[in-house]
Structure 1
């Protein structure tokens, strides 16, 4: 099989609670504005409820207001700098290269995507920010002087699903509203849903996890090791995900074994389908003689 014909397997991750044990704002940013995480999220909840607003939009507004009030730069580089302090679950830093290598040995191309309500600029600044083929996440609009002034994209738990279809159709622009709605035959789509593995940690990921699973892909609910296991297990008993794993991405841990097994299955299914296609084509040529 040539390089171009290699099946592509898309690993799609939520970020907060999936690759990182906390919300990304809860590390250096909240300390810099003189708040603790409970105060920040309480204020965000109250603002959203009082204005009947989306909590993603309100947290983005609060970040701008608090940064400005505390003399913190609103440039993209500043948000990226805060991303450097974001903690990751055990094994995450080495995960991407190891899985890429495994895919290469198996004859598949591995691609990694973020689908998150968190801030794109902060994700870019994390230790793994350069490991992703695309980061679909909330982000800001910037002035000509590079100052954040307004939300450009706010990703909540329902509109997350649009990015699955963009990955499916090979669309890299978050702005696109045309190609995403064009009809494309399933066989012509860049990454079929059954070649997707979705990683999420809870309620905000349910629409994506269930969609991927219903379309023949695989969804994994992760939970912090030694706690909150019952939340993830509820998702599998409700038939919303395929697997439940502790968020330890180290070699030979449960999530590592599950993902490698799924990759094996995708490759085997791809080879099987190619074999059936070949035999059908051979039979057709014989009939036409």
Structure 2
């Protein structure tokens, strides 16, 4: 169904409402949606989340953290195993004799994760700015890290994220991790962009494979921003870029090592790069606000195009 609404001068837009907890399919808001998708490790936080408390607590000192990852990667290589499944297995094995790996325990470690400057207030600020421009902002995490740790962060507890897609454990009736529930790697990350595009967020909903006309897509790729830091984000960045969206590479503002973002820029993986500083007025903040304003203006024209198209076909 199509609705006429006013957005900085007026336009026709397709709008949607939730039809279930994890699906956003049919009419709700009169604003276009801009989906902001983030990697987590070294994008929102300076280091791997597991290396900020968990690895140390199972007997590795600061100098041995690389050893943990080396052993995990060797395990994956030996068994022809996904690297993410390997690190999840190793976490459970290394915790034996120290503590039970429970969801609450993982959330505690997540609450200890250091965040880049401005991250703590970023999500609310950007949502508010979007509303002022007539754009609804939704934040999504797409990470190979652990969902339970991300859920332990204060912003996740406050409901900053529309959905968190990340590796996760299955827990037994005592709350102890016994098996991987999800393993997210750099190639299967892209499926979640299609879920966001169609508004089908439930990972078990096969409706993501259904054809949806471009004008009926809840979040077309042009209305997506993907923010990441490294090669593991390249499939998502390339997909968003190739379809008119905005991929942004970030780098540590203290180390100032731009080699990865330079490489991604040269290979057309990203459109922009900036320091991972999320504070108000930073380069990243300014860039994202420019994209929000562009989205608001473009969707007015797109809405008018859709109106003309359907009127001509009647």
Indicate whether the TM-score tops 0.5.
yes
**Structure 1 Cα separation of the partners of residues 309 and 222 of structure 2:** 22
Whose helix proportion is higher, 1 or 2?
Answer: 1
User: What is residue 35 of structure 1 aligned with on the other side?
Assistant: 60
Matches within 5 A, 1:172-251: 172-176=201-205, 178-225=206-253, 226-251=255-280
TM-score of the pair, normalised by structure 1: 0.93
Counterparts of residues 247-262 of structure 1 (less than 5 Å): 247-262=276-291
Match of 1:157 among 186, 201, 218: 186
| SS of alignment partner, residue 131 of structure 1 | coil
Cα distance between partner residues in 1 of 2:66 and 2:293: 43
How far apart are 1:175 and its partner, in Å?
A: 2.6
SS at match of 2:43: coil
**Pick aligned residue for 1:90 from 117, 122, 131:** 117
- Aligned equivalents of 2:231, 2:125: Cα separation in 1: 29
Please say if residues 215 and 306 of structure 2, whose CA atoms lie closer than 8 Å, have aligned partners that are also in contact.
no
Q: Alignment RMSD, CA only?
A: 1.6
2:154 is the alignment partner of 1:127: yes
1:103 is aligned to 2:126? no
TM-score (norm 2): 0.86
Residue 73 of structure 1 deviates from its aligned partner by 2.4
What stretches of structure 1 of length at least 5 have no aligned partner? none
Report the Cα distance in structure 2 between the residues aligned to 1:187 and 1:275, rounded to whole angstroms: 12
Find the aligned partners of 1:277 and 1:187 in 2 and give their Cα distance.
7
Take 1:272 and 1:132, find their aligned partners in 2: how far apart are those partners? 29
Distance in 2 (alpha carbons) for counterparts of 1:77 and 1:248: 29
Which consecutive unaligned segments of at least 5 residues does structure 2 have? 7-27
Consecutive aligned runs of 4 or more in structure 1 exceeding 6 Å deviation: none
The CA distance in 2 between the partners of 1:274 and 1:184, in whole Å, is 17
2:74 — aligned with what?
A: 46
Aligned length: 283
Deviation at 1:276, TM superposition (A): 3.5
Distance in 1, Cα, partners of 2:287 & 2:80? 41
SS in 1 for 2:238: helix
Per the alignment, residue 166 of structure 1 pairs with 195
Paired residue for 1:24? 49
* Matched position secondary structure for 1:4: coil
Deviation per CA, 1:211-235, whole angstroms, max 9, x where unpaired?
A: 0010111000001014221111111
